[in-house]
Amino acid sequence: MHSNQSAHPLKQFVLPALVLFVLLLFTYARFFSIPYIGFQYDTSGEIVDVFTPEATGALALGDMLLEANGIKHSEYRDSLARPWFDHLHPGDVMELRVSSEGVERSLQLAVPGFNLPEFLGRLINTWWLSYVFWFAGTIICFHVRPQDVRWRLLVMFCYVTAIWLIAGSLSRYGVFFGPYVFRIGIWLSLPVYLHLHWNFPRPFPRLPNLVWGALYAVGIGFAALQAMSLIDPDWFGYALFVAVVGSLLMLLVRFFTSSGERREVGFLLGAFAVALLPALMLGLATAREALPLLGNGSVFSLVACPGAYLYVVYRRQLGGMELRANRLISVYLFLVLLFTGTLILVSFFAPGLENPQEIAIAILGTGLFVSLFNIFAFERFQRFVERRFLNIPMPPEGLQQRFANLISTSFTRQHLGQTLMEQVLPALLIRQSALMHFDGRTPERKLIYAQNVTAEQMPDGEVSQQLVRPANSPGVQTPAWVQLAIPVRAGEQVVGLWLLGRKDPDDYYSYSETNLLNSLADQMAIALVNIEQADRLRVLHQRDIDQQEERRAYLARELHDDVLAGIADLVALADRGNPDALQARHEQVSDRVRQLIYQLRPAMLDFGLYRALTELVDNLSLRLGEDVQVSLMLPESAEMYEGQVAEHAYRIVQQAAENAASRGLAKTIIISGQLTADVIDLLIEDDGIGFDLAGTSLPDLLHASHFGLASMNERAALIGAYLSIHSTPGVGTQVHLEWHKH
């Protein structure tokens, strides 16, 4: 159902206006046509309220009215069209015969006319509830679409209920054919109630039209018989019982068998409980006898019935107001609970109050209790209603705050997906969704999680790129299961796509929920950026570990094969007494040990970066031979640098030269630049085969598996230096390192 802003035809105003006219007519009768006689009775003849001092002296609660002005109670009961008190004016004398505890007596009472207690007794009652049902029916009539069977049944449900409610509130007086209207309304409610709850919130399996036709025929037929007084006046009670109990049974069946309707049906069942709770508890506490006016005020809770139906059918149109409506429901339920509890509390001590001081103390004590209960219980009660009654396990703002805290620890895609599936999606009743992570440098998509979605249902790369466009862009094709597609953006870059599908109870995402999901997507963008950075750090860390393990294995082999073997040779030569051979072998072993130490950390760094680079070039030239020419074109410098600046600069040059010789197959390597106290400016050039370089940032290098270049980039970042790498296939590579003292 959705709202329709089109103009309504004139005929659509006829039914609401007609029902309103009936309500106004009976309201007028209630306050102006029925004489004020000083007491109130029910249809059994029992005196239920006494208002004026004269009536108080003559009548008591519980007395049975047997005859009034010559009309016996049996005649009053048998003739629905015959008012018991009619054509009376202030000052007229009423001839009454009553029974008090089995003793009959006759008395005369003067008609007092208008009096405030009796007026309040008529005002504080159920009559006004009919206007609440009329208002709900009118809202549905004009603002709920489509105008299908459920729409018609909901309108009739509200209007028929409104009519028999107001007619029933003054049925005992017999004015304006009220008893007939009341009973006919009940008979007509029988097919309407059952038909409505067969189709609402969602239809049960379709029944033949003959079944519903027969049911409506029964209701209309008995209504006609009732109008002609051909059936017992009390039979309408059976119709009301079947209509109400049948409707409740259908709602219970839906609640236990249909998870998709559980939220709405549970809301309706809860509304019935709220409507009946005050009356039931006040009946148990007999508060009505002690405080009749307050007891009549308990009908305030009955608003829950029409309000629940209106909320269920109109919830989709609330948009951003849905959250406020939910909170209003919590406040209303709390007030009903508070009001009922207060009446019950007062009912225990009200009959024993004998003087103004005791009454004042009781009022103050009750007020204090109510205030403390309100302060300490409302927030917990509101949270309980939102979680259990409105099916909101976590308030949206609480959900957003909690998720923001959780993403700070989400450094893996698995943890992020687990957080969404366990914390966020259940709270919003989302049953089908998926989240994809875009690399940004490649078309590769990484699926973070998929909830009730198969691989075949996931969009391919082209469709995914379409879905990140605005929803109204031409050519966007959304998969059938997707209800909402939210691009996950970090600034201008799209880092992911969040697809949301089936959602309880009706696959509807309200305005407030959409805003919340977009806010969560913004936070997910931060998490995905952090995950990317964490992945890069893990790759670098693993590369460092691998390099350390390779270095250790290399040292172990060299120490075992060269150094230990050399020491063994020295021992053997010493035993043979060959000093020349011993000296030569000793020099070989010493050179090898110095080379190993040099690989760990060049000793020449202790004498400056220039001396270390000079030694590096010499060693490379010696090791590579004549095949590769390595040149150092640096002005001599004795500058010393603090911290690890010199060592990192040295390793960058070493790595660049090693790459040029081993991978670049260069014939010429030139190291040039300058070394001053404030600047290190080094350029390493080669004429090797070069390579394709998509980017020189750390993520680009890691993605392309250029771990050596990535290590150089990371070392430059550690000392705050600028590193640029340029390479052209077939031409060569240039690595430029620039450091400035801060």
Residue at 150 is within a domain: yes
Q: Which segment, 8-17, 324-333, 362-371, 492-501, is predicted with the most confidence on average?
A: 492-501
d(CA 647, CA 696): 22
Residue at 381 is within a domain: no
Q: Is 208 in a helix, a strand, or coil?
A: coil
Residues 202 and 336 in one domain: yes
Residue labelled with tokens 């250029």: 706
Poorest-confidence range of 412-421, 555-564, 625-634, 654-663? Answer: 555-564
Q: Is the pLDDT of residue 658 over 70?
A: yes
pLDDT at 282: 53
Tell me the pLDDT tens digit for each residue of 503-520.
875 677 877 788 888 888
d(CA 592, CA 559): 9
Residues 62 and 157 in one domain: no
Q: Is the pLDDT of residue 214 over 60?
A: yes
Residue at 576 is within a domain: no
Write down which residue in 113, 139, 160 finishes a domain.
Answer: 113
Q: Is 325 in a helix, a strand, or coil?
A: helix
Residue at 387 is within a domain: no
Percentage with pLDDT > 70 across the chain: 70
Tell me which residue range forms the domain holding 709.
608-740
d(CA 471, CA 462): 16
Q: Is the pLDDT of residue 332 over 80?
A: no
Identify the band that residue 567 occupies on the pLDDT scale cut at 50, 70 and 90. confident
Residues 58 and 175 in one domain: no
Residue of 79, 75, 87, 81 whose CA lies nearest to 34: 87
**Can you tell me the mean pLDDT for 230-245?**
89
pLDDT at 200: 86
Overall pTM > 0.85 = no
Residues 86 and 159 in one domain: no
Identify the band that residue 700 occupies on the pLDDT scale cut at 50, 70 and 90. low
pLDDT at 221: 94
**Can you tell me the mean pLDDT for 101-105?**
88
pLDDT at 287: 39
**Can you tell me the mean pLDDT for 540-563?**
65
pLDDT at 7: 42
Spell 521-547 as b/e; 16+ CB within 10 A means b.
bebbbbbbebbbeebbeebbeebeeee
Structural contact between residues 303 and 161, judged by C-beta atoms closer than 8 angstroms: no
Residue labelled with tokens 């005929």: 11
Determine the longest span between alpha carbons in the chain, in angstroms: 154
Residue at 3 is within a domain: no
Identify the band that residue 381 occupies on the pLDDT scale cut at 50, 70 and 90. low
Poorest-confidence range of 150-154, 276-280, 330-334, 469-473? Answer: 469-473
Residues 162 and 104 in one domain: no
d(CA 24, CA 159): 13
Residues 25 and 48 in one domain: no
**Can you tell me the mean pLDDT for 228-239?**
87
Report which of residues 146 and 739 the model is more confident about. 739
- Chain-wide mean pLDDT for the chain? 77
Residue at 336 is within a domain: yes
Report which of residues 723 and 288 the model is more confident about. 723
Number of domains in the chain: 3
Q: Is the pLDDT of residue 148 over 90?
A: no
Q: Is the pLDDT of residue 680 over 90?
A: yes
Q: From residue 694, give the alpha-carbon distance in Å to each of 54, 559, 704, 713, 729.
A: 103, 41, 8, 15, 12
**Can you tell me the mean pLDDT for 556-585?**
72
Residue of 446, 426, 637 whose CA lies nearest to 532: 446
Residues 252 and 104 in one domain: no
Identify the band that residue 218 occupies on the pLDDT scale cut at 50, 70 and 90. very high
Residues 135 and 25 in one domain: yes
Q: Is the pLDDT of residue 735 over 60?
A: yes
d(CA 38, CA 65): 14
Residue at 690 is within a domain: yes
Q: Is the pLDDT of residue 624 over 50?
A: yes
As given in the structure block, the two tokens for residue 742 are 């801060």
Structural contact between residues 62 and 41, judged by C-beta atoms closer than 8 angstroms: no
d(CA 211, CA 464): 50
Q: Is 74 in a helix, a strand, or coil?
A: helix
Identify the band that residue 368 occupies on the pLDDT scale cut at 50, 70 and 90. low
Residues 98 and 140 in one domain: no
As given in the structure block, the two tokens for residue 670 are 């030139």
pLDDT at 319: 43
Residue at 669 is within a domain: yes
Report which of residues 619 and 285 the model is more confident about. 619
